[in-house]
Structure 1
Amino acid sequence: MRGYGESDLPLSAESYRFEYLVTDVKDIVEYLGYNRCCLVGHDWGGTVAWLFAIHYPEMVTKLIVLNCPHPSVFTDYALRHPSQLLKSSHFFFFQLPRFPELMLSINDFKALKALFTSRNTGIGRKGRWLTAEDLEAYLYALSQPGALTGALNYYRNVFSSLPLSQNHVRSPVLLLWGERDAFLEQEMAEACRLYIRNHFRLNIISGASHWLQQDQPDIVNTLIWTFLKEGEGRKSYRN
């Protein structure tokens, strides 16, 4: 995804509008020579995956999302539940220009280290915590020129998302959810069912944090592969 790792890091917030992020996925699939895909996304990748499945339903064979609610569910729930609005308060802080980048980088990226390693927001499962080498790799990537701005620009476009003329997903959906997500309330996971017009499966992974693919990689991989293999050879996927 643009703004992360060794992908392009455009500095303009305008470059991270959701229509561009969704088009990135379409362009990659078509560049690789395909017209359909099984799409998997986590967090912001999950948001883009939901939106891609909504706007290009014919291109998504199966959709798998990790710890990210359907965009309409998130909007509706946050507006009605102050507890979720409080958990999402960083969305508003990150709208400020330059100051969030400063606060995240001072004291040798102390705030980012806390995000990845604290008991509340970090990986929850003992034995899966980031090693010193893992943490150094994350911080190295985020310390590159423009990297923090690229990551924060996702938040800076959250209030100008693609218009959802129709917001239902027509492909089969697997939603995986870490039970101990510090950023998102679990009630939103079940509410996603309202926006699925096909088979929908929700798996709540006990003890897992927001970073469930790192907390419980074996369980997550097994659930994903099982879902991908189901219905192979069928012309359609039934509820």
Structure 2
Amino acid sequence: MADHVDTPPLTSFTRDGLTFEVVDGGPRDGEVVVLLHGFPEDASAWTAVSERLHDNGFRTLAPDQRGYSPGASPTGTDAYRVTQLVRDVLALVDASGAERVHLVGHDWGGAVAWATALSSPERLLSLTVLSTPHPTAMARALRTPDQARRSWYMLAFQVPGLPERVLSRSMRRFLTSAGLPADHAERYAARFASPASLRGPIGWYRASAPWRSLSSRGSGRRTGGGATKGAGAQRSSQVRVPTTYVWGRHDVALGRAAAEGTADLVDADYRFVELDAGHWLPECHPDEVAEAITERARRS
């Protein structure tokens, strides 16, 4: 159970002068589930999942992450390194009053979740990752034509300034073409309607240029493979936290090779859930996602 159950819900937390917005819901004495959104999403991606988790007795914390919260959108690429993103998560865990939490991430949030499990397993009760495979599995898959083709946009995002201008004008079309329903696409398109609003989110990609390992930069250690979507690793790339990985077989960005390769990189109780779904699992499949999180939490 979380400590300090009589304290009011969190609406924000701070780290190093930055203020992050957070949605805190569910029973105050429930085990804490931290929900990390992806690109280009925000905390609202988890609304339907959170409602189901509350019904199952969990307290949920869904932050708008670095570059998404107006008070936590620093300039400069280095501000979006994986080490900074992980420290943000740990600051939220500290602010929650819980010693350990169930950590969940989707897309980029999944990359941060993997990195947190690798660097700070003692703060986690369990790990549930949606869509994004283990970073070493992804690095290996990038050597295949299929995953290299799916990941072309990560290289395009390295061009200064241009991705922000293009996406701010075409966000709704970009999202719906990737399978996101129109109501969600319209919400995100309204939030990211200017180049300035996308500078932080795209900064995550620039801080982890797709063909190099952020883990070696963040820890000073070389690992056996590179990382994508910012996920880092320690000397060992083995995750030692009870883990569930949920993947949609129709995901346009993340293919089967990395999804299936993830199992070899978890040295703990592991479950792989393959859905007849695309990329946008929190928005489109909240029942299955909430079930996977709940089952993982109860087995841990």
Kept after mapping to 2: 8 A contact 1:5/1:141: no
2-side partners of 1:143 and 1:103: how far apart?
10
Cα distance change of structure 1 residues 7 and 71 upon mapping to structure 2, 3 Å threshold:
farther
Query: Given the two structures, how large is their TM-score scaled by the length of structure 1?
Result: 0.85
The Cα shift of 1:5 comes to 4.9
1-side partners of 2:249 and 2:236: how far apart?
30
Kept after mapping to 1: 8 A contact 2:68/2:201: yes
The Cα shift of 1:144 comes to 5.2
1-side partners of 2:73 and 2:81: how far apart?
14
1-side partners of 2:253 and 2:238: how far apart?
24
Percent identical pairs in the alignment equals 33
The Cα shift of 1:222 comes to 1.7
Secondary structure of the equivalent of 1:34? coil
How many residues align structurally? 216
Query: Corresponding residue for 2:85?
Result: 21
Higher helix share: 1
Query: Corresponding residue for 1:234?
Result: none
Q: Which runs of 5+ in 2 are unaligned?
A: 1-64, 217-232
1-side partners of 2:251 and 2:72: how far apart?
29
Q: Which runs of structure 2 are paired with 1:33-44 in the superposition (5 Å)?
A: 33-44=97-108
Query: Corresponding residue for 1:115?
Result: 174
2-side partners of 1:6 and 1:169: how far apart?
32
Kept after mapping to 2: 8 A contact 1:22/1:52: yes
2-side partners of 1:63 and 1:7: how far apart?
28
Query: Corresponding residue for 1:135?
Result: 185
Kept after mapping to 1: 8 A contact 2:74/2:200: yes
Q: Which amino acid aligns with 1:155?
A: Y
2-side partners of 1:202 and 1:48: how far apart?
19
Kept after mapping to 1: 8 A contact 2:167/2:174: no
Query: Given the two structures, how large is their TM-score scaled by the length of structure 2?
Result: 0.68
Query: Corresponding residue for 2:96?
Result: 32
1-side partners of 2:71 and 2:275: how far apart?
31
Q: Which amino acid aligns with 1:21?
A: L
1-side partners of 2:106 and 2:86: how far apart?
14
Secondary structure of the equivalent of 1:146? helix
Q: Which runs of structure 2 are paired with 1:1-239 in the superposition (5 Å)?
A: 1-6=65-70, 8-79=72-143, 81-105=144-168, 109-110=169-170, 112-118=171-177, 121-123=178-180, 129-131=181-183, 134-143=184-193, 146-159=196-209, 161-163=214-216, 164=233, 165-206=235-276, 208-231=277-300
Q: Which moved more, 1:89-98 or 1:30-39?
A: 30-39
Deviations 1:186-237 (A, max 9, x none): 221121111111111000011x110022222112212221221225xxxxxx
2-side partners of 1:97 and 1:230: how far apart?
45
Secondary structure of the equivalent of 2:236? coil
Kept after mapping to 2: 8 A contact 1:114/1:122: no
Secondary structure of the equivalent of 2:240? coil
The Cα shift of 1:171 comes to 0.8
Secondary structure of the equivalent of 1:154? helix
Q: Which moved more, 1:180-189 or 1:2-11?
A: 2-11
Higher strand share: 2
2-side partners of 1:200 and 1:72: how far apart?
16
The Cα shift of 1:145 comes to 6.5
What's the RMSD between the two structures over aligned residues?
Answer: 1.6
Q: Which amino acid aligns with 2:266?
A: I
Kept after mapping to 2: 8 A contact 1:176/1:204: yes
Secondary structure of the equivalent of 1:40? strand
